[in-house]
Amino acid sequence: MAQSTSQTTPEAAPWDAKRHASGKHRLRRMAPWVAVLVLLALIVWGFWPKPVLVETAVAARSALTVRVSEEGKTRIRNRYVVAASVAGRMHRVPFKPGDEVQAGTTVLTVIEPAVSPLLDQRAREQAEAEVSMREAAGKQAAQSMEAARAALKLAEADRDRLRSVRRSGTVSDADRDHAEGEALIKAAEVRAIEFSMQVNDFRLAQARAALARPGGGGAGEWVEIKSPVSGRVLKVMQESEMVVTPGMPILEVGDPLDLEVEAEILSRDAVAIHPGDAVAIEQWGGEAPLKARVRRIEPAGFTKISALGVEEQRVLVLCDLIEPPETAKALGDRFRVEVRVAVWHSDDVWVVPAGALFREGNVWKTFVFRDGKARALTVNAGHSDGRLTEIMAGIEAGTEVLVHPPDAVKDGTRVTRRTGAGG
């Protein structure tokens, strides 16, 4: 059996074993080079520049309106500050902002005479001494009056005695004139003392009034402060009862339906605004913008610090609303709005999105989409409303421009449109 098996199995040749061994060795030697080539191919593919995704738009003809936009606020055209007309104690104001008032009818508050101030011990003693002095002066004036009347009586008796002597040469003319004059002088002294007694009585009453401390006056002595116009209370400056002085502001009234809009426009932009320019009032709380017109550009500017800390020269521009809708009646005084004043308009110009333009030195440029690449073009840009810009030269009809191109885009860069972009 062993012999037959060895005869049927052929023996392998020596060169066959060598050939199989060299083929496996060749594969082992080529495997690293294949891996390196694959890695290099992946690296080259990774670094190979890909087209930049961009958004495009087509230059077209359209209407263009240039507007100056700025935050503004509403304000009541005619405001009235009601102030105290006299000094005294003001009653508490019963009105709140928003309450309705009628001109000449609504009593806003009442002012009554103020209570005399309290006297300290020294001031009271001085007032009492003043009263005693005036009383003594009255008694002194009464004694002086008695003496003056007695002197007058004597002077009149002498005058009458001389008048009764009729015989010529008995009494000289000088004595007669002296008696007449003496009687007139004594009569004048009596009248002067009477007047001085009246003055002393008044001063005595004044001294007693300073010493006394009367309460508030009666209802007939109150002063009513009435509303000067029909409208609503805008602001209450003094609500509580207090002692007021003439001219002290109490509250502010006005008609909330008589509104105007004011905007603080930069002076360089206000130069292009003129009375009568159309205005769109936006962001006021309603859906549709309100129509308005410029009424006045104030001639004097003022300095205002911006949010970035920059000093700016601004000018107040006042606008009148044109037939505001019913919903606009909800607007009140000092409400914030967005004011957009039209300063230039054209019905038919070439326009591109403002984001398609950029400055390079002193010229405007844009990237156009041509054969899958971005090409830089110099254009002549005109007016702009911040969204669209007028192109006066440099772009042909139907030219496709890149909108807000990324920084990676240069002249000749391969680009591709985003999905859904114009083209």
Q: What is the mean pLDDT of residues 237-263?
A: 92
Please choose, from the candidates 324, 315, 340, the residue with its C-alpha nearest in 3D space to the C-alpha of residue 256: 324
Specify the pTM. 0.58
The whole-number pLDDT of residue 220 equals 56
- In this predicted structure, the answer to whether residue 288 has a pLDDT above a threshold of 80 is yes
* CA trace torsion 289, 294, 297, 302 (10° rounding): -10
- Grouping H, G, I as helix, E, B as strand and the rest as coil, residue 247 is coil
DSSP letters, 156-176, are HHHHHHHHH--STTSS-HHHH
Q: Which residue has the higher pLDDT, 10 or 221?
A: 221
Residue 125 tokens, joined: 């003693």
- Grouping H, G, I as helix, E, B as strand and the rest as coil, residue 411 is coil
Q: Do domains 54-64+348-417 and 67-74+256-344 have the same CATH topology?
A: no
Looking at the chain, the whole-number percentage of residues with pLDDT higher than 70 is: 87
Its CATH class, for the domain covering 54-64+348-417, is mainly beta
The Cα–Cα gap between 366 and 405 comes to: 9
Tens-place pLDDT, residues 175-233: 777 888 888 888 888 888 888 888 888 788 877 777 776 555 555 578 899 999 899 99
Tell me the average pLDDT of the chain. Answer: 83
- Cα separation values, 389 from 269, 279, 360, 375, 395, Å: 18, 20, 17, 19, 13
- In this predicted structure, the answer to whether residue 356 has a pLDDT above a threshold of 70 is yes
- In this predicted structure, the answer to whether residue 19 has a pLDDT above a threshold of 70 is no
The Cα–Cα gap between 231 and 319 comes to: 21
On the CB side of 242, how many CA atoms lie within 13 Å of its CA?
12
The whole-number pLDDT of residue 6 equals 45
Most confident stretch, 29-43, 77-91, 151-165: 77-91
Residue 315 tokens, joined: 């000018």
Sole residue written with tokens 């859904």: 420
The Cα–Cα gap between 109 and 7 comes to: 140
Q: Would you tell me which CATH number, out of the four given (2.30.30.100, 2.40.30.170, 2.40.160.20, 1.10.1200.10), belongs to the domain 67-74+256-344?
A: 2.40.30.170
Its CATH class, for the domain covering 82-115+218-254, is mainly beta
Judge contact between 208 and 50, C-beta under 8 A. no
The whole-number pLDDT of residue 3 equals 46
Tens-place pLDDT, residues 24-73: 667 777 777 777 787 787 776 666 667 778 888 888 888 999 999 999 99
Nearby residues of 252 by Cβ (< 8 Å), 6 or more positions away: 79, 80, 81, 82, 233, 234, 235, 236, 237
- Give the Cβ contact number of residue 47 at 10 Å: 8
Sole residue written with tokens 């077209």: 60
The Cα–Cα gap between 265 and 179 comes to: 92
- Give the Cβ contact number of residue 306 at 10 Å: 10
- Give the Cβ contact number of residue 368 at 10 Å: 20
- Grouping H, G, I as helix, E, B as strand and the rest as coil, residue 413 is coil
What is the β-pairing status of strands 223-226 and 311-321?
unpaired
DSSP letters, 216-238, are ---GGG-EEEE-SSSEEEEEES-
For the chain, give every domain's residue range: 54-64+348-417, 67-74+256-344, 82-115+218-254, 121-211
The whole-number pLDDT of residue 423 equals 46
Nearby residues of 328 by Cβ (< 8 Å), 6 or more positions away: 284, 286, 290, 321
Q: What is the mean pLDDT of residues 328-354?
A: 91
Please choose, from the candidates 255, 254, 251, the residue with its C-alpha nearest in 3D space to the C-alpha of residue 235: 251
- DSSP type of residue 372: T
